[in-house]
Every structure is written in C-alpha cells, then in structure tokens.
Amino acid sequence: MLLYMKHNPLSLIFLDIDGVLVTAKTKDPSRPDPEKVKIFNEIVRRTGAQVVLSSTWRYDKNWFQVMFDAGLRVDFIGVTEQFDALHRGVEIHTFLLEHNLFHDRLYPKSPKSSMHKYVIIDDDSDFMSFQLPHLFKTTWETGLTEEMAERIVGYLNSGMKADEVLELKAHEYLM
C-alpha cells in the first residue's frame, strides 16, 4: 500500500523493526529502542530517503503512532503487502513493481524508473538473489549500528551501483 510519494524519489529504505530498531537489549519490545531510532533518523536525514515499512509491525493499526511516539521522524510512504507463505523479498519486489520503482542492472528486464537506489534493512535473509546487494543485514542481538548506518549512507549517497556493492559485501553473505 502506497500512502504517498514525493514526485521523484531518489532512494527508498525498506525497514524491518524487530532485529533493527528493537533488539534483544531493548527494554520495552513494544517500542523501538531510542538509540536505534536516533541512528535511523540520521540515515534518513543524511540521505533524504523515503521509508516503506516491511516489518510485521505493519499489521498493527497503530504502527505509525508507535513509531512517532518512539521518536521516528521519517517519510513513511507506505507498507508492503502481506502474501501468505511468501517471503519478504517477494513483498518488497511486488511493492517496487506495483509502483514502477524497480530497475536494477542485476535484473536487466526490469522497467526503467526514476528511483535511484533502495536498501533493505532487515535481520532476516528471505530475499531474492538480486535483492542481496541491497540488503544491509542486522542481527537480533545488535540491531542497527552506527557502523552499518555509515555504510547505508555511503551507498545511498554514492554513485555505486548495486552490483558493485555486492562485490564489496560478498564477505557478509559467506557468514
């Protein structure tokens, strides 16, 4: 579901919550960790990215209020749809296709779009192979870190293409 979109989005972030903003160390798991929220807000501030909620938190009708109350100050433009028995990668791919936002040199038959880049911040691995260069994988134990935030900002603000990032990130997939 698309809530709204700026005329020419340059970058999108598909955001998971559990394992990214809520971790094993979060005192109240019903609210994002304030330190993780601060890190995420800084990513968005520095990149101008718009955000799509791809987390299961989207099933809670009050998700937006919970995020706002936790201090998240970002442009949420929509949520991915749920498809029973399909993995999150399909939900993200469907969102991109439905809104004509998908174009990737790793998937050459995709339509052209005005979107420059997208990233997926998630602690799961249920993504399509051509999405892996866009995946910045967190862990339930640590969630979003400042080091990862710097890599995300660097990618979104650079001229690097997804396949170039894949080469740099190859060691992450071997873990």
Residue 70 belongs to a domain with what CATH number? 3.40.50.1000
140 domain residue, yes or no? yes
| 116: confidence class by pLDDT, cuts 50, 70, 90 | low
5 domain residue, yes or no? no
Q: What is the mean pLDDT of residues 106-126?
A: 70
The domain containing residue 115 runs over which residues? 11-173
Cα 120 to Cα 69, 162, 173, distances in angstroms: 23, 12, 15
17 domain residue, yes or no? yes
**Terminal Cα-to-Cα distance of the chain (whole angstroms):** 34
How many domains does the chain fold into? 1
4 domain residue, yes or no? no
CA–CA distance, 53 with 4 (Å, rounded to integer): 13
In this structure, what DSSP letter does residue 18 have?
B
70 domain residue, yes or no? yes
Contact predicate 52/77, CB 8 Å:
yes
127 domain residue, yes or no? yes
Q: Look at 164 and 19; give whichever has higher pLDDT.
A: 19
Q: Look at 171 and 68; give whichever has higher pLDDT.
A: 68
Percent of the chain with pLDDT over 90: 49
Pick the most confident of 17-21, 61-65, 124-128, 156-160.
Answer: 17-21
Q: Reduced to 3 states, what is the DSSP secondary structure of residue 24?
A: coil
1 domain residue, yes or no? no
In DSSP terms, 18 is beta-bridged to 22
